[in-house]
Structure 1
């Protein structure tokens, strides 16, 4: 499980055994929440499969005089089930969220202080619990995960990494050992709820090594692994528990201390197996999103370099998704992106596109272009079975997050991603492209309303044949002079039709 907007779930489609059956999308219901101009509002949507969906709304008044957090549970028909509110103590700001299969956890911190608090909300009932504690140090918080009754908060203090373990039972805090060292930066915190382990991943910016530390639930250091060197260095990592007794570390790697990925890696943590590196240049369909002539030209150039004994290095910025289980084993999905900075323009809804900035290697960006997505299928032993790629048509986003959703039915995989008012879809079968589907247009609540501006559209799988599109739009109402800014949620349902070609 990952925190903040980072969770990837599945969209369900069906394909017949004889020929591909393609799904036609129908918009069945839409909710709208009017956005106020006098306060800061943010919305976090959490799909709960057949159990419905949870919406968290944060509303912050000017000068942080008051913050209100509303949690609204809807059932599978987008009918409200319950609603509850929470008002944190004065001067407490939201820092991070984390969610698992049963709860959402919200981490608050008192401005300029070490005091923290964690709110827990039950998806099923809306019941809330609240715990207050202390960080023990004036650290900058960058990571937040929860396992059972403990929260693990990672960040840095005096430019050195630190992780604090906070107990919800006795409200005590503890700094995890053997972390606070020079030249180390926390890359990721991940939990293994089956084995009750915490995995801390660090990067040494002097030696370029990727370091994995395994801790017990109580915070005892159990194992330390150093991976990579100046030629091949893992730069991201995620723990995968297909075989619960043998966790796998997967991610992408670079050369030297670069943040630009060269490919993927797979490493079994409980075995003395050699780490497996998969170079982008060795994939069959890395350039399959291009037209055939351009793809052939690039592949020919790569082949000629390899025949001359030269190393071929393709360097890209990669947004790596959570690993997706599949019938064969698991799927690795990533998007190639290019960061940009766009100065804020105008006021009102135009500022949506500049609502947040991201720091990447010291540079600040607030806009991103996505060129294509890479999809790789692995078996349960970590062997690469197939690879493919799909064009994303240089879509833009003010958020650096996952765009593409994926599901598997039989031998087919269906990809879908949002592009302003459109949902674009494609079907692949292993290394093969099967068909690009129709582009589906997101509609307003009524025929008399007109969507005049779109920002931050997202797509989330839900349950069965349905998924959710949500985001921010400016709507022109019938007989109203001014546009209305809304946060919308709409249910999209697939029906099947067979391709006769």
Structure 2
């Protein structure tokens, strides 16, 4: 095995910010001498305001690898560091925080084999074990309750998503009753340690209508309750996030559609205990800022056109695909964040297809383009308090996964941000107020010294951290005084 210890260099950067500019500050910077060609790095925010940095260092042939885990406190000072001796072909997939542990899962070249690692936040001590899960060939989601694993992955036999329970002490695993229909999928998986349950939200569809079902399990994977959520006539519940708490207090916050189940026509909030939708429905026109990503004249035309459609009884013309984020808890309730996107395809004359599991060729999108992200603030009864919008013109990814990070600040504001090369684009939201002059601000990442220059940035990322702080990170090539260096950086961003 290749054993490499690396020097940790902690740099403190004071950034002068003019008061009137209201730019976020960058008070701290950490640089690690790592090369992107042979290093895989992930940054995880821990519940105690610290950061966990995982990195895998491999040789040129990837036949030998070392797996490093290092904790840094809120001042980006090293607290502890450790390594785990596992097979070189392991690649990091998912993590789950459950104080005082962080659980991580790695996949191997043999798609049936998975390695699970547990790290103690306090001491850095590690535990790891490999399991062969015959029924899975990928893992999408991973939660832990009382040391037992709940895993959502792809069923090897039919390609459908499935929920698996794994006891890591005995190695016993079992599929849990969840997905039945051909077009069913998981909308949310929430572990509530205070109430000893895991809630799986399932979106079920027959192609014409869609409904939601919630299955609750205890730590051993035994079914505690099953909720079928009925919808109003003419609506279909598409996706939803579930709140924590007692079953009498739980809410489902999500999207609904009408005729075409690909597109959302609005948002809803419904109490789980009622088992029927007696909650609140908000169509997109009712949201004050949903269309603010448009120019004012276009927004006005769109509103007039849609209002005429409603008056004449015709179906709505606004069709949005919406990708939901995990709920953000606040002092008054919850914030639901969603990204609006559409699929970009090749020129109709060009052929760009893929062979699906049914053996048929299907047209594949060239990219997933975002138009905007929205945030909706609900109280604990499911009443909509405010909504706001973050324009995302030009933001394109190649997978349907969140591209924007959102954080609820202690003073009640919201911030959304995403990285682009050596900049962070962000917007700070203050309740329902929308200021076109303040939309999509740009923050340039600062190097260690003022006279240094960032030549390029590779694989940039940003995560919410704690309080009013985010962490921006990635690889950078920097020209300093007479030398050029490559580093993995972490910049503390303070709003």
The question of a shared fold, defined as TM-score above 0.5 by the shorter chain, is answered with: yes
Preserved CA contact (<8 Å) 2:24 2:494: yes
Instruction: Quote how far apart the aligned CAs of 1:373 are.
Output: 2.0
Instruction: Quote how far apart the aligned CAs of 1:409 are.
Output: 5.6
Match of 2:40 in 1: 42
Alignment of 1:11-90 (within 5 A): 23-36=22-35, 38-39=37-38, 41-48=39-46, 51-62=49-60, 64-89=62-87
Match of 1:433 in 2: 434
Match of 1:191 in 2: 191
Preserved CA contact (<8 Å) 1:372 1:394: no
Alignment of 1:284-299 (within 5 A): 284-299=288-303
Residues 427-458 of structure 1, C-alpha deviations (whole Å, 9 max, x = no match) = 44433225628643212222343222234433
Residues 272-318 of structure 1, C-alpha deviations (whole Å, 9 max, x = no match) = 44254332233222112333222222212222222222232422232
Match of 1:131 in 2: 129
Match of 1:379 in 2: 379
Q: TM-score normalised to the size of structure 2? A: 0.79
Q: Is 2:313 the counterpart of 1:312? A: no
Instruction: Quote how far apart the aligned CAs of 1:329 are.
Output: 1.8
Deviates more, 1:252-261 or 1:192-201: 252-261
Measured in 2, the distance between the counterparts of 1:55 and 1:474 equals 20
Structure 1 unpaired stretches of 5+: 1-19, 343-358, 495-501
Match of 2:306 in 1: 302
Q: Give the superposed CA RMSD.
A: 3.5
Preserved CA contact (<8 Å) 1:459 1:470: yes
Residues 210-235 of structure 1, C-alpha deviations (whole Å, 9 max, x = no match) = 33322222212233334467953333
Match of 2:251 in 1: 248
Preserved CA contact (<8 Å) 1:260 1:315: yes
Residues 314-359 of structure 1, C-alpha deviations (whole Å, 9 max, x = no match) = 22232322212223322112222345589xxxxxxxxxxxxxxxx9
Match of 2:336 in 1: 332
Preserved CA contact (<8 Å) 2:376 2:384: yes
Match of 2:464 in 1: 461
Preserved CA contact (<8 Å) 2:417 2:426: yes
Measured in 1, the distance between the counterparts of 2:267 and 2:408 equals 21
Measured in 2, the distance between the counterparts of 1:93 and 1:392 equals 31
Match of 1:348 in 2: none
Instruction: Quote how far apart the aligned CAs of 1:398 are.
Output: 6.1
Instruction: Quote how far apart the aligned CAs of 1:368 are.
Output: 4.3
Measured in 1, the distance between the counterparts of 2:198 and 2:37 equals 42
Measured in 2, the distance between the counterparts of 1:453 and 1:363 equals 34
Alignment of 1:349-360 (within 5 A): none
Measured in 1, the distance between the counterparts of 2:215 and 2:384 equals 27
Residues 25-51 of structure 1, C-alpha deviations (whole Å, 9 max, x = no match) = 332222223443653x32221223664
Match of 1:148 in 2: 146
Measured in 1, the distance between the counterparts of 2:423 and 2:113 equals 44
Match of 1:168 in 2: 168
Q: Is 2:214 the counterpart of 1:216? A: no
Preserved CA contact (<8 Å) 1:227 1:233: no
Distance 1:305 1:137, change over 3 A: closer
Residues 121-168 of structure 1, C-alpha deviations (whole Å, 9 max, x = no match) = 112221111234442535543332211210012221321443321113
Measured in 1, the distance between the counterparts of 2:24 and 2:391 equals 21
Q: Given the alignment, which residue of 302, 305, 321 partners 2:325?
A: 321
Preserved CA contact (<8 Å) 2:410 2:467: no
Instruction: Quote how far apart the aligned CAs of 1:190 are.
Output: 2.6
Instruction: Quote how far apart the aligned CAs of 1:375 are.
Output: 1.8
Distance 1:486 1:245, change over 3 A: farther
Match of 1:356 in 2: none
Deviates more, 1:301-310 or 1:77-86: 301-310
Distance 1:86 1:79, change over 3 A: same
**How many residues are aligned here?**
455
Residues 400-432 of structure 1, C-alpha deviations (whole Å, 9 max, x = no match) = 424243435656545444443333444444332
Q: Is 2:285 the counterpart of 1:281? A: yes
Distance 1:439 1:486, change over 3 A: same
Measured in 2, the distance between the counterparts of 1:470 and 1:392 equals 20
Q: Is 2:399 the counterpart of 1:395? A: no
Measured in 2, the distance between the counterparts of 1:380 and 1:21 equals 36
Match of 1:445 in 2: 448
Match of 2:490 in 1: 489
Distance 1:189 1:282, change over 3 A: same
Preserved CA contact (<8 Å) 2:135 2:157: no
Deviates more, 1:290-299 or 1:379-388: 290-299
